[in-house]
Amino acid sequence: MSAANFTAEIVAPPDLTAKRSWRSVKSAIMTGLMIASVVAVALPLVAVVWAIFSRGMAVAFHGFPHFFVDEIPVIARKAGPGMGPAILGTLLATGAATLIAVPLGVAGAVYLHEYGVKNRFSRLVRFMSNVMTGVPSIVMGLFIYVTWTLRFGYSAFGGALALACLMLPVVIGATEQMLKLVPNHLREASYAVGTSKSRTILSVVLPAAMPGIISGSLLAVARAAGETAPLLFATGAATEYNPNLFVEANTALSLQIFGNATSSFAAAQDRAWGAALTLVLLTFVITLVARFVTARFARRR
């Protein structure tokens, strides 16, 4: 076949440009809608953060450190700081809750993963723990009211109990995840030199899982610090400082925000914004620490 047999047709190159069709327009519209939803998420977040900072900054940092230290004005109409007792109350209740929930949660997760991985008891506990994460916090609060507050009165500790109940399933879940990540050959190495199971868990497994457990627990702490409903029924509404964990009603930042939000007095509302800023900063710091721990853990591996 010689070249002469090929017809010299003028053939245009294939047209590969994008077509303006309804289909491609529709796809573009949909992509636009997706972007719009991202904006729709960013908007309220920005709006809320903006409101907190713009309204809360002036209140919280005016005449620093008064807002964080002074007592709460008993008369709502009265302008001026502070939220000291609420900050203390939040720290007391959240701190006590952490001391209760984290060791118990870690211990429970240890059982679930190291001792009874497949047995029926473990599967039931795991399932119920999942269910428990969905219990509304108000139900937890009422539960503590019925079982504790009625007997022992309002106190920061009652609030701590309620918060601990909320935190427990979260800590169990996060810890179990971390335990799963500890490779089995580490456990075998420990058994092989004549180490008991409990010692293996305490000296090898838990230290290896610790950074993840810490960061998971911190996230649970951050959530607990912001809870209101459980404290409504267990902690009360004091306005004075009460450093006593167990005796007498106390207060917390979340409770104060709740109480002041519906007040008709601007002064009380201002204090609510200041408290909201304080709470958000506290939560933010805790979350940052949690992320920092996770990052260090990742780097070390």
At closest approach, how far in Å is the CB of 5 from another protein? 35
Say if residues 154 and 235 touch (Cβ distance below 8 Å): yes
Residue 5 or 184 having the CB closest to another protein: 184
Using the contact rule CB under 8 A, the part of the chain among 8-16, 42-50, 77-85, 91-99 near another protein is 42-50
Residues comprising the chain, all counted: 301
CA distance 186 to 266: 61
CA distance 234 to 161: 9
Q: Contact between 44 and another protein (CB under 8 A)? A: yes
Using the contact rule CB under 8 A, the part of the chain among 39-47, 73-81, 152-160, 210-218 near another protein is 39-47
Looking at 149, 215, 217, 254, which residue binds another protein (CB under 8 A)? 254
Q: Find the binding residues for another protein in span 187-246 (CB under 8 A).
A: 187-199, 201, 203-204, 208, 222-223, 225-229, 232-233
Q: Contact between 285 and another protein (CB under 8 A)? A: no
Within 10 Å of residue 45's Cβ, how many Cβ atoms? Answer: 9
To 5 degrees, how large is the angle CA 96–CA 137–CA 271?
A: 75
Tokens of 129: 């723990």
**Residues with Cβ within 8 Å of residue 249, at least 6 apart in sequence:** 153, 154, 155, 235, 236, 237, 238, 242
Looking at 110, 167, 206, 218, which residue binds another protein (CB under 8 A)? 110
Looking at 134, 151, 264, 299, which residue binds another protein (CB under 8 A)? 134
CA distance 218 to 212: 10
The size of the interface with another protein (CB under 8 A), counted in residues, is 100
Q: Find the binding residues for another protein in span 156-175 (CB under 8 A).
A: 165, 168-169, 172
Looking at 69, 76, 91, 138, which residue binds another protein (CB under 8 A)? 138
